Structure 1
């Protein structure tokens, strides 16, 4: 684990799933980690378990993201690894969706990711290195019925990742988009006894993120898909 070529990490949109597994894995590797969410009360057990630092942020607000990075700089130094795991989800028929709710959902999934990449790039360009990982979804590859806002945000996220990778990779910054193609295992979504490993184990997802971080720059991936062995694609 100690061969991760970075010093510290910031995870935005933290929770008990993928972000929780990432936090544990990065802390086990000895890296200081800041975890950020709109409501940091839900992160108390993860903080106690790992020693990570929790900071509040509304990822859809550019000023708040800028403040978060400044606070992170002060607490652990400019982050070498930045992971954006926040997303907004509103479901329903297009003709019936509330426009303001859609605006907020897309702002979290897409604009928040841009604000994050922008702040990360400012620091990483100065350092000449860094890694920015953006958590995508099946919806960023194909939009499903009754889920237009989520698809809009995740398609935009994928476009941001592709554009940022082409711009920043030649400057030493590894940008990657991870398509989570399936249901992530949790207390709410347990793995069915009759179909083992038909959901994605968050610890296994975290391992894939760490594998990306270990890639040599001569063979960087800009996109990675992870899915259960039984998932259709």
Structure 2
């Protein structure tokens, strides 16, 4: 892909982009709507490129950078390409991986894969994003600071239960990582926040993988991707005098 010279537009980098009817895509569209150039990263090149085409067709600026979020070399390469677009103002880690299985049926390989994507991926992406945010030339004393780093969490980050042992361990570790980043880089002007998604997301993954759950949830029983994306945008826009480190989102009908 031919990249433009450095843009005057702020850049948002979203990792964990898949289907158009998914959270990563909704976040990308929300930031593009506000005039951001959006850099899109996901494992499936065809899906990442299709979303970039969709956003451009709607009048936005979007760039497809497919790759493995847990591969440090790949993320460093993508980060360098993101920097060619312009100054990074927001980064969102939305990648996730986990297997549903009884604990005694889980293999070490499956457990490790959940950790690799959720935790190692969150670390290498977060590290690359933090470096870019520190270098983007903005004033840390500005109302929104140097920029925003957001992590998509889950109910499993707060409590483990079967059959999600691997997913829960990985998401709990990601939550702890976000807290460490927030405590280290908040005072330097970077807003780091973790968002607990407490419920099913009404997207392609759930509708294709567990249609019975969609039916059981009924009207207003699932989180809408666009509604979640709106919260991500509002987190980015928070004044530095009142930053949120963790938010939890759930349908009004969801018990907790």
Tell me the TM-score normalized by structure 1.
Answer: 0.92
* Cα displacement (A) at 1:123: 2.0
2:93 is the counterpart of 1:97:
no
- 2:100 paired with 1:80: no
Partner of 2:224: 201
- Residue 24 of structure 1: how far off its partner (Å): 1.1
1:8 aligns with 2:11: yes
Which of 65, 80, 83 is the matching residue for 2:75?
65
> 2:13 touches 2:92 (CA, 8 Å); kept in 1?
yes
What is the alpha-carbon distance in structure 2 between the residues aligned to residue 194 and residue 22 of structure 1?
23
Contact 1:11-1:83 within 8 A present in 2 as well: yes
> Which aligned runs of 4 or more in structure 1 are off by greater than 4 angstroms?
190-194
Distance 2:44 2:195 in 1: 24
**Cα separation, 1, equivalents of 2:217 and 2:179:** 38
SS at match of 2:65: strand
CA distance in 2, matches of 1:28, 1:20: 12
Task: Show structure 1 runs of 5+ residues with no match.
Answer: 1-5
Distance 1:116-1:198 versus aligned 2 partners, 3 A rule: same
Equivalent residues of 2:10, 2:87 under 8 A apart: no
Q: Is 1:229 matched up with 2:245?
A: no
Q: Distance in 2 between matches of 1:194 and 1:227?
A: 12
How far 1:77 sits from its partner (Å)? 2.3
CA RMSD, Structure 1 to Structure 2 (Å): 1.7
SS of structure 2 residue aligned to 1:48? helix
Equivalent residues of 1:192, 1:198 under 8 A apart: no
- Bigger mean CA offset, 183-192 vs 10-19: 183-192
Higher mean alpha-carbon deviation, 93-102 vs 185-194, is at: 185-194
Deviation per residue, 1:126-157 (Å, 9 max, x gap)? 33411100000011011120111111110011
- Partners of 2:215 and 2:110 lie apart in 1 by 33
Residue 216 of structure 1 and its aligned partner are, at CA, apart by 0.2
Question: 1:46 aligned to 47, 51, 62, which one?
Answer: 51
Q: Distance in 1 between matches of 2:152 and 2:221?
A: 20
> Which whole-Å CA distance do the structure 2 matches of 1:194 and 1:156 have between them?
28
The TM-score, its normalising length taken from structure 2, stands at 0.84
Which residue is equivalent to 2:149?
Answer: 132
The separation in 2 between residues aligned to 1:145 and 1:192, in whole angstroms, is 22
The question of whether the paired residues in 2 share the 8 Å contact of 1:69 and 1:78 is answered with: no
In the alignment, structure 2 segments of 5+ residues that lack a partner are 1-8, 57-61, 141-145
